[in-house]
Amino acid sequence: MVRPTIVFDLDGTLVDTAPDLVDSLNHCLISHGLQPAHEKDIRHFAGRGARVMLQRAFEAQERHADLSEQTLANLLDLFIEHYRSHIPGRSRPFSGAVDAMERFAEAGWTLAVCTNKFENLARPLLGGLGLDSRLAAIAGSDTFAYRKPDPRHLTDTIAMAGGNPRRSLLIGDSRTDIDTAKAAAIPVVAVTFGYSDVPVADLDPDRTIDHFDELTLALADELISSLEVQDR
């Protein structure tokens, strides 16, 4: 039988990237004469990638009329350049994330990352933090022609890792992740410590966890077997 696959979201799930996201965002906002954002604002802005993050930050200051396609493209370049040059910056794995990855790898699970970060930012970040060696696939927002909440971003990540969507699980922090997993009919565990502007429990994930220590092999097996029951 194909090994089960555990797919992790990146920003707000595996890694606390808010300090660096806000620094790079503020580099852009200030360059355009806007007020800087605060780290807690990332909860409202993150989840759909850097472009949407910039749009949401401009909207929050009622300056979205400033964002022509060209201005947005220029700001996105500025964001990417600033972000890339500071990797890994102050970003760190959330408490228990590294142990959880080890636990699943040692139990024979395939590990993958499915993120709305650009792939060429996600890879150096995961590499810089030493998290990439266990990962069979890293798929960013531009890896395929579609991205979360499109379920194919998740199912193609699983395929890339050599897995089967009927034996897979997503761990995420936002509405985007939960919507993606539901559309793909894949169980989803939501972390409560990430970047969501509403309590994740209200978004109806299969489970919520407050710490990675709660992401046990027994819980993951239980969620995967619920799929096998449905398939019978």
Ligand X SMILES: O=C(O)COP(=O)(O)O
Q: Which does 5 bind (CB under 5 to 8 A by kind): Mg ion, ligand X, none?
A: none
Annotated binding site for Mg(2+): 9, 11, 173
Least Å distance between CB 194 and Mg ion?
6
Closest among 161, 172, 169 to 110, alpha carbons compared: 161
Report CA-CA distances (Å) from 39 to 19, 182, 210: 6, 29, 20
Q: Which residues bind Mg ion (CB under 5 A)?
A: 9, 11-12, 173-174
Annotated binding site: 9, 11, 173
- Verify whether residue 9 is a known catalytic residue: yes
Q: Which residues bind ligand X (CB under 6 A)?
A: 9-12, 46-49, 53, 115-117
Taking the least distance from each CB to ligand X, the nearer of 167 and 175 is 175
Radius of gyration of the chain (CA): 17
Least Å distance between CB 210 and ligand X?
18
> Could you tell me the two tokens for 113?
């990352």
Q: Out of 9, 20, 177, 179, which one is annotated catalytic?
A: 9
Least Å distance between CB 190 and ligand X?
12
Taking the least distance from each CB to ligand X, the nearer of 49 and 163 is 49
Strand pairing partners for 188?
170
Distance in angstroms (rounded) separating the CA atoms of residues 97 and 53 = 25
* Buried residues in 45-74 as b, exposed as e (16+ CB within 10 A): bbbbbbbebbbbbbebeeeeeebeeeebee
Taking the least distance from each CB to Mg ion, the nearer of 11 and 206 is 11
Active site residues per annotation:
9
